[in-house]
């Protein structure tokens, strides 16, 4: 996963344009993404698809002709969605278009202006302080024209029509954790799920933040009832605790599955109640849809200073934390895939486990067997049983499998 | 408010009589109270309106002819509702009618005997200990005769017929916190509400404790369904924490509004579950009525030693705490007046706040806007939204007002 | 109770056989138990009644002819349900049939093999270590033949057909706490209940563990709906905290009554959620029955090392803890017997307690009166009122009795 992040890192992405397309092409080497192109000006609910933005180069030259700020060195140097500009300005006017982080003087901030036409440059505060009076040449060789907004989608059919939606925003330029980590995890997850038997269908979205989710919801409104569970995946490579933010419903199956996995982990992780600010769960969980979709991340965006700066780089994401995040998402999906309701076929008193070879000496497994038998009355799923018993879902699932083999359970 | 308390303080009030009437007349200088007179002997549910009690003078003279206990110095000296008496007694017999507080030897206790004919004097334990053997002359120049029980009522109509009831007991003589503070707060609140637009109607009661509430409930039984919320106000001038006692329902709107205001305060205050002992909430929350009425006070009656003694005097109530109590009650009423259910007009995805000028940079206000939009689905009131979001009701209300102006909300 | 335990202690009981019958005969000196005999081979749900086991003698002799392990000294020395055996074995083969407790080298373990034919001896690990190479003579003079399984049952009719079930397992040999203490407590409780007026009917079961409960449930399936509440009683003589394990329902009246009694105790005790492992609550609370039956014990079986060893002897159970357990069970039954729903006859405002002599000075009792009046609206039982008010059930019951006498309440 870290390798894929590294490959995607240099590309200048935005909510539209060739950087986004190039990103999708790289993902298509791993998974058969379908690419959608939505024309500028398309109305989607209360929003309008913006013009397409592309950029080739941008810099600021000082009076000596030295490029002191250079898009080629870091695409964060340009205010994302800057209109084309070519002018001479004095320092005073230039400063109105410069963005820095005084609290982190070595870092370049990441700034955007999608819906208000503007231009600007981002640079380290240390460098900003060295700028001398004088004339500066400013070049932004960009275009902002009618075109298309691009997004990628992958559908993997399963035994059931019901879908699990996995969504990652893919509109940020050279930012490794937010959200190349999420893109990479979702890609590897899709690659894995392609190869296995799936009870549910899966749909993966690689979309520009906000507008991408709004477009997708608008275009797919008629079939949203198929979405049974889902995750917005973002910021999964840093060293912080895993953090799950509940869906607006608060008690959806995805919420319970994610909480179970986090609580049962060696390093338990944090669980946040729903709030209407954040990533694309804002749209998925808007009241008109109220989809059962939560957010899976490590440290939440507001809580690490590297967020939306040049310090969210390849050193900020760690292979071991990417792997840990990936395995936790797999565990959550395992819960969803295996969460069934069984019926104990001997509900009056315990069945005699001994004569079926299921009762050696009383250890953990036997007690899991008893829990599954006792609660498999038609109103408890395996996740219900895991929650009530305190056992891991895995142990309850294994107990259910043994009882199924012994014909003591049938699926409801 | 402290000034009104000081004016009312010297009057010898009881559950009936001229002291109560005089008190109502003073309040009528501020608010247009309607005075009710209920004849002695009237049956009200399980109770009977008692005879009217009036007192002109009372004292105990020692053998030297010195007035050692004198009603003119403090009306607490006489057992409230003492029958007329004029007799010589020796010290032994006198002592059977004397009440003191050995634990607080400087204080005079406040005692009553409304429903059992008796007489007595209250004095400091310090003085009690100095009483010498000998004859004492005892005079209580009171009357206990058929007459009337008096109470005051003020109705302020609003846009809705639904009423908010504010009740204060007004039967205690020279006790400043219990309950001249409550009378004074309720008077000033009524004066304020008279001058403003009211969504709800308001009804203020200044009544003798217990019997007054029973009378009012009995006489107004047919229209009690109009009472949507209410507060019993008492003991609001001491320096203790504000204490809200929930209605018997426990989750009435008044309970939630008061809890919200207290929890969000800089000095949060205490919340008590309902119990069937206390002030007139006992009657309002009797099971046959179960009205949504809580109790608003500062230190509860059982928890300060000055309660029902001469130490509950003008020094015990502070202008700043009276003001704080008044403002908290106003805040609670603001919640009730403004707690509406709105419908987000763009429930599918977020509306684009930027194009409406509602989205500057993400600060507190914008997140309040998002909470109001996300939860205004027809099943959440603004108080629900404040509770779930953790924002103050005021901030949620302001956010709703901005969204209303932008036509993004309509009232349900 | 300790005396009865001492009398029963030497008998070699098992899930069938004369030891069990002899035990029932001793109990019949105290209470008129009805004895049931169920033939071997009877099918009961998923189980079959096993052959009857009886034993007269058993020993291991060393080469010198010394009885080194002797059933006559402790019936725990024989693996319970050992088949008859008479053979010479060398030490190596003997050891395959010996059971010890290395962690407690002085104690003899208690082991059984009901459903797999086997033989063996249990001895102290200290002795085990002294065994020398050589020939050993092994004698188990037992029989395992078609016969009967025995259990005792006592029914005490009450005003209502609804039953409270008290069950104790009686299949363990010389183990004092598990479960002679439970047998003894249940016997004394039955003896007491015989002599008093009973609102409910009571049914006492003295049964072999697991198979006994399964048999009884199978034979009485048609009338199980009469069981309104019940307790499995076991391990009630040790010095640990009282521990109540909730029924599968979790909020049955027995659960609430037991929790109330434990929480209100001077030494509060522990409350465990239901789990499907344990004693006969496993069968009573199997999903097909889901009876409102909890488990009453002191230290739970898994938590004291003496459990199922020779150290669970007459010194391990204390008269004072037996008495404490007995009184707590009595208190729980008192709650059940007296938990009624009353209707306040003056629901509109408080009734005037003073004129009925119920209102002296405000103390604990008066507040209990007010709680009963306030909540006796037809939807709260006395236990509901005790729980909400924080008063002991006893105080609430006494308050209700006073109000009944004053005609202020009637039973619903």
pLDDT per residue rounded down to tens, chain A (412 residues): 899 999 999 999 999 999 999 999 999 999 999 999 999 999 999 999 999 999 999 999 999 999 999 999 999 999 999 999 999 999 999 999 999 999 999 999 999 999 999 999 999 999 999 999 999 999 999 999 999 999 999 999 999 999 999 999 999 999 999 999 999 999 999 999 999 999 999 999 999 999 999 999 999 999 999 999 999 999 999 999 999 999 999 999 999 999 999 999 999 899 999 999 999 999 999 999 999 999 999 999 989 999 999 999 999 999 999 999 999 999 999 999 999 999 999 999 999 998 898 876 555 589 999 999 999 999 999 999 999 999 999 999 999 999 999 999 999 9
A365 at interface of C, judged by CB pairs closer than 8 A: no
How big is the B-C interface in CB pairs under 8 Å? 62
Confidence of residue B362 (pLDDT cuts 50, 70, 90): low
Pairing of strands C270-272, C341-344: unpaired
Token pair, residue A292, equals: 């059962």
DSSP summary character for residue B150: E
Token pair, residue C255, equals: 């659960």
Instruction: Output helix, strand, coil percentages for chain C, rounded to the nearest 5.
Output: 35, 25, 40
DSSP summary character for residue B306: T
The partner residues of A8 in beta bridges, in order of sequence, read: none
- ipTM for the whole complex: 0.94
Smallest Cα distance from B169 to chain A, Å: 44
Per DSSP, the three-state class of C72 is coil
Confidence of residue C124 (pLDDT cuts 50, 70, 90): very high
Nearest to C365 by CA among C331, C333, C403, C332: C403
Determine the Cα–Cα distance for residues B368 and B386; give it in Å rounded to an integer.
9
The predicted model gives B327-350 an average pLDDT of 98
- A20 burial (CB, 10 Å; 0-12 / 13-18 / 19+) is buried
B355 at interface of C, judged by CB pairs closer than 8 A: no
The partner residues of B39 in beta bridges, in order of sequence, read: B148
> Who among B210, B277, B286 is closest to C348 (CB)?
B286
B276 at interface of C, judged by CB pairs closer than 8 A: yes
> Who among A349, A373, A374 is closest to C217 (CB)?
A349
- Against chain B, the chains showing at least 3 CB pairs within 8 Å are A, C
Instruction: Output helix, strand, coil percentages for chain B, rounded to the nearest 5.
Output: 35, 25, 40
C363 at interface of A, judged by CB pairs closer than 8 A: no
On chain B, the residues whose CB falls within 8 A of the CB of C350 are 46, 210, 214, 282-283, 286
DSSP summary character for residue B282: H
Interior CA angle at A390 toward A388 and A395, to 5°?
110
A351 at interface of C, judged by CB pairs closer than 8 A: yes
Determine the Cα–Cα distance for residues B15 and B9; give it in Å rounded to an integer.
16
Q: Are A46 and A105 in contact (CB under 8 A)?
A: no
Nearest to B356 by CA among B412, B402, B410: B402
Pick the residue of C44, C276, C281, C291 with the most A CBs within 10 A to test the interface with A by mutation: C276
Residues of chain A with pLDDT > 70: what percent?
Answer: 99
Confidence of residue C302 (pLDDT cuts 50, 70, 90): confident
C1 at interface of A, judged by CB pairs closer than 8 A: no
Each residue's pLDDT tens digit, B103-116: 999 999 999 999 99
Interior CA angle at C276 toward C275 and C281, to 5°?
100
Contacts of B224 (CB under 8 A, 6+ apart): B217, B289, B291
Q: Are B206 and B183 in contact (CB under 8 A)?
A: yes
Inter-chain CB proximity C349 and B287 less than 8 Å? no
Report chain A's C-alpha Rg in angstroms.
25
pLDDT value at position C364?
A: 56
Q: Which residues of A325-360 are buried (b: 16+ CB within 10 A; e: fewer)?
A: bbebbbbbbebbbbbbbbebebbbbbbbbeeeebbe
A251 at interface of B, judged by CB pairs closer than 8 A: no
CA dist list (Å): C154 to A292, C33, C34, C151: 55, 5, 6, 10
CA dist list (Å): A152 to A12, A34, B299: 17, 6, 63
On chain C, the residues whose CB falls within 8 A of the CB of A360 are none
A370 at interface of C, judged by CB pairs closer than 8 A: yes
Q: Are B24 and B206 in contact (CB under 8 A)?
A: yes
Inter-chain CB proximity C352 and B287 less than 8 Å? no
Smallest Cα distance from A374 to chain C, Å: 6
pTM: 0.94
Nearest residue on chain A to B391, alpha-carbon basis: A275
Determine the Cα–Cα distance for residues A146 and C354; give it in Å rounded to an integer.
87
Show the DSSP H helices in A170-318 as ranges. Answer: 182-194, 211-219, 253-263, 281-284
Pairing of strands B121-122, B98-99: parallel
- 3-state SS string for C385-399: HHHHHCCCHHHHHHH
Nearest-10 crossing angle of helices B364-375, B393-405: 70
Q: How many residues does chain A have?
A: 412
How many other C-beta atoms can be found within 10 angstroms of the C-beta atom of residue C15?
Answer: 27
Determine the Cα–Cα distance for residues B175 and B106; give it in Å rounded to an integer.
16
Nearest to A356 by CA among A339, A343, A338, A373: A373
Pick the residue of B42, B44, B45, B46 with the most C CBs within 10 A to test the interface with C by mutation: B46
Nearest residue on chain B to C377, alpha-carbon basis: B287
Inter-chain CB proximity C286 and A348 less than 8 Å? yes
Each residue's pLDDT tens digit, C76-116: 999 999 999 999 999 999 999 999 999 999 999 999 999 99
Determine the Cα–Cα distance for residues C182 and C297; give it in Å rounded to an integer.
8
Inter-chain CB proximity B286 and C352 less than 8 Å? no
Determine the Cα–Cα distance for residues A232 and A229; give it in Å rounded to an integer.
11
How confident is the prediction for chain C on average, in pLDDT? Answer: 97
Pick the residue of A209, A286, A301 with the most B CBs within 10 A to test the interface with B by mutation: A286
On chain B, the residues whose CB falls within 8 A of the CB of A275 are 367, 371, 389
Inter-chain CB proximity A289 and B348 less than 8 Å? yes
Inter-chain CB proximity C349 and B218 less than 8 Å? yes
Q: Given strand A34-39, what is the order of strands in its sheet? A: A34-39, A148-156, A201-207, A163-169, A227-233, A293-297, A243-245, A270-272
Determine the Cα–Cα distance for residues A114 and B135; give it in Å rounded to an integer.
98
Nearest to A310 by CA among A77, A48, A38: A77
Inter-chain CB proximity A349 and C45 less than 8 Å? yes
Backbone torsions φ then ψ of C96, nearest 5 degrees: -65, -15
């Amino acid at each position: 996963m870290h390798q894929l992040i590294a490959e995607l890192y240099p590309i200048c992405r935005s909510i539209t344009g060739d950087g986004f397309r190039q990103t999708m092409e790289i993902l298509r080497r791993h998974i058969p993404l379908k690419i959608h192109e939505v024309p500028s000006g398309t109305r989607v609910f209360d929003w309008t698809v913006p013009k397409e933005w592309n950029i080739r180069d941008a810099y600021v030259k000082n009076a000596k002709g030295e490029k002191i700020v250079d898009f080629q060195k870091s695409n964060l140097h340009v205010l994302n969605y800057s209109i084309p500009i070519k002018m001479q300005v004095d320092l005073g006017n230039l400063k109105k278009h410069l963005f820095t982080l005084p609290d982190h003087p070595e870092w370049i901030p990441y700034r955007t202006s999608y819906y208000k036409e503007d231009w600007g440059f981002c640079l380290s505060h240390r460098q900003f302080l060295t700028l001398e009076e004088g004339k500066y040449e400013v070049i932004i060789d960009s275009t902002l024209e009618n075109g298309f907004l691009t997004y990628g989608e992958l559908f993997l059919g399963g035994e059931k029509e019901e879908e699990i939606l996995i969504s990652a925003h893919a509109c940020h330029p050279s930012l490794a954790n937010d959200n190349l980590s999420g893109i990479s995890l979702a890609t590897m997850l899709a690659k894995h799920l392609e190869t296995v038997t799936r009870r549910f269908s899966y749909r993966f979205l690689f979309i520009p933040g906000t507008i991408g989710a709004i477009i997708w919801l608008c275009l797919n409104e008629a079939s949203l009832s198929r979405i049974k569970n889902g995750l917005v995946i973002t910021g999964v490579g840093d060293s912080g605790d895993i953090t799950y933010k509940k869906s607006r419903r608060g008690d959806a199956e995805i919420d319970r599955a994610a909480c179970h996995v986090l609580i049962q982990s060696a390093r338990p992780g944090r669980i946040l109640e729903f709030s209407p600010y954040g990533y694309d769960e804002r749209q998925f969980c808007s009241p008109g849809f109220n989809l059962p979709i939560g957010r899976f991340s490590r440290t939440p965006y507001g809580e690490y200073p590297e967020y939306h700066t040049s310090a969210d780089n390849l050193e900020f994401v760690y292979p071991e934390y990417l792997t840990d995040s990936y395995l936790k998402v797999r565990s959550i999906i395992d819960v969803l895939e295996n969460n069934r309701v069984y019926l104990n076929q001997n509900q009056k008193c315990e069945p005699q486990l001994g004569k079926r070879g299921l009762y050696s000496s009383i250890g953990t497994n036997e007690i899991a067997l008893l829990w599954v038998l006792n609660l498999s009355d038609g109103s408890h799923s395996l996740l219900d049983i895991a929650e009530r018993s305190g056992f891991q879902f895995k142990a309850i699932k294994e107990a259910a499998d043994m009882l199924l083999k012994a014909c003591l359970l049938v699926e409801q």
